[in-house]
Structure 1
Amino acid sequence: MFTFSSIKNVTWRIVKRFLSRVLPVVIGVVVAVFFLLRLVPGDPARIILGDQATDASVIALREQLGLDQPVWVQFSHFVTQLFTHFDTGESLVYGESTRTLILERAPLSLGIVAIAVMLTLAIAVPLSVAAASHQDGPVDHMVRVIPAVGMGMPTFWVGLLLIIVFAVNLKWLPVGGIGDGPLQPFLSLVLPGVAVAIAAIPPLVRSLRSELLDVTHADFVTTLRAAHIPERTIQFRHVLRNAAVPTLNLFGVNVAFMIGGTLVVEKVFAINGVGSLLFNAISSRDFPVVQGVALYCAFFVVLITIIVDLCSAAIDPRLRLGSS
């Protein structure tokens, strides 16, 4: 039951996390993305117009895009645009708002991340419980070996392997792109989601298995067994709950890697999501789009971190008490 005190504690916890995590990350990303991009050799105006363009046309385009202004002036315009319109400006190539470009492609990228998250939890938790319940047995050894193999496979290589097996040979799922049928958009995101999940499952299995074993040998578990509490109740209500917090924090970190893996996998599966937009913007030196993608990804990662922190507090009351 929610009380005024609990709501107050949760609100204060969110405010503290916002001030301690969101603002420093946002400021760091804003500064880093703006200045690091300008250290890379290449003239965006020259790239847009092509090598055959005259110097006069390049100079005119630089003036039109504001690239001829001092860096500090460009940075002040960039920050003003960001905090007044939640945008990093118009794309140098597409001539559209970066916010519009990103939001148009975000559903595809978020769909891949959502599928990867669900698959990761659905596979990692049962494998970890099975391994911890059969410590040093054949099941445990098998569960420990398979993740070790999965950690050594690059995401793009896994994606190509999935295409060959499930799309080309078995013809169960689309090879790439986004179909037009009723279920085609979802089916087109399944293989990319699996490729991203395979890279995220191994560290979670190892972490959760280790935590489960530590909690299983704790004194309070021995006391519960002496009280003849059903083993299933002990495992799922007490052991798994106490072991979940460290793994949940690791999972929050892995979501950030899932986002990065999604951006790469989109190119493998020819999906026109945020990843494809980012790589095209990098190749054409489209500063506003690269900055926008980086900032939106940073916001999303920080949001996931706060959600994970709140979930950890909901699972472990000691964290709620410590934050009040």
Structure 2
Amino acid sequence: MLRLILQRVMMLVPVLFGITILSFLLLQVMPGDPVEHAMGTRASAEDLAAMRRLWGLDLPLWQQYLIFLRDCATGSFGFSLFYKLPVSRLVLERLPVTLALALYSTCIGLAIALPFAILAALRRGRLADVLIRQLFVLLLAMPPFWLCFVLILEASLRLGLFPTGGLGTGVLQNLHRLFLPALVVGLSTAALIEQSLRATLIDTMKADYVDTARAKGLSASQVFRRHILRNSLISTISVIGVRVSWIIGGTVVVEKIFAVPGLGGLLVDAIQARDFPVIRGLTVCFAVLVVLVNLLTDIAYALADPRARLT
């Protein structure tokens, strides 16, 4: 197990290094000048040149990249051009919100997908199975921004059950305020988990060890709970890991619409302000989080299925 973890960690080093190169180079071709955006169109050429020297934007690209790499290695990520604060401080202030939203939406997705996947697998080919599959295909096809506005109009403005956005002061209040954005992300997560788990349950029902368990005299509920469901949930770990990786960097629209002060909203504001240090820092932060989630997914899968440790 230790060898498996070390191998995964060593494989992640060149991945993170490549991400720093891509995140740096892509911003060089991004339209817009952060200096002109910050100082306005009436600034003189001398003022613009002085500001570029102050921010280090007049240095050669290789020197700028080395400075960026140094900031990534130290965890500082530089200094925000717009907020006038260290990028690391901005990230650490908003990171818990994004992680909480990812965890909250994953729990909602599991709570929705698990019973429907079991029911669809047990009623395979019947009306219930067809209706469940069509329902989750519809949920998967819904654009998140459209679903956000529908929930705001109905659940917030019309019924008054939930606030339209923002955070509260306590845990229970935050759970209440984050329910709608977590539900939007959780519904698409539930659609993916339901499709994967249903297919795995059906395949597991045909396995030889399931027939052996029935031949030993175990009841149908025991066979399903101990042998079918337990083994089918192992493959779901990979689906959840991939989905959580997407949630971490894919909630930009949801966070912005519901005014959730997470990393997604910070990224949108940084792009609008052409705040290059913040954009680079968030890109690397998202990449590190995705890499860590994939690593934890591999470890969890290896713990659940010992056969994975041999590969």
Which band: TM-score by shorter chain? over 0.9
Q: Corresponding residue for 1:3?
A: none
Corresponding residue to 2:119 among 130, 151, 167: 130
- Match of 1:289, as an amino acid? V
Among 194, 200, 204, the residue aligned to 2:193: 204
Task: Specify the alignment match of 1:57 in structure 2.
Answer: 47
Asked whether the 8 Å contact 1:90–1:97 carries over to 2, the reply is yes
Q: Do residues 302 (structure 1) and 291 (structure 2) align?
A: yes
Q: Does residue 1:34 correspond to 2:34, yes or no?
A: no
Q: Report the Cα distance in structure 2 between the residues aligned to 1:215 and 1:204, rounded to whole angstroms.
A: 16
> Runs (4+) of structure 1 moved beyond 4 Å?
none
Matched, 1:66 2:56: yes
1:300 and 1:106 mapped to 2: Cα distance? Answer: 10
| Equivalent residues in 2 for 1:276-291, closer than 5 Å | 276-291=265-280
Equivalent residue number for residue 232 of structure 2: 243
How many equivalent residue pairs?
311
Decide which of 10, 31, 36 is 1:46's aligned counterpart.
36
Compute the displacement of 1:182 (Å).
Answer: 6.8
What letter is aligned with 1:196? V
Tell me the amino acid that sits aligned with residue 134 of structure 1. Answer: R
* Separation in 1, partners of 2:53, 2:35: 10
CA contact (8 A) 1:88 1:292 kept: yes
Question: Structure 2 unaligned runs (5+)?
Answer: none
What do residues 166-205 of structure 1 show as CA deviations (whole Å, max 9, x unaligned)?
1111111111122346733221111110011112111211
TM-score by length of 1: 0.92
Cα separation, 2, equivalents of 1:172 and 1:119: 18
Which amino acid in 2 is paired with 1:111?
Answer: A
1:110-129 residue pairs with structure 2 within 5 A? 110-129=99-118
In 1, Cα distance between equivalents of 2:295 and 2:171: 35
CA RMSD of aligned residues (A): 1.4
Q: 2:6 aligns with which of 11, 15, 34?
A: 15
Corresponding letter in the other structure for 1:312? Y
Unaligned runs of 5+ in 1: 1-9
More deviation, 99-108/65-74: 99-108
The amino acid that maps onto 2:6 is V
Which of the numbers 123, 132, 138 marks the counterpart of 1:149? 138
Q: TM-score, normalised by structure 2?
A: 0.96
Secondary structure at 1:93 match in 2? coil
Distance in 2 (alpha carbons) for counterparts of 1:317 and 1:181: 41
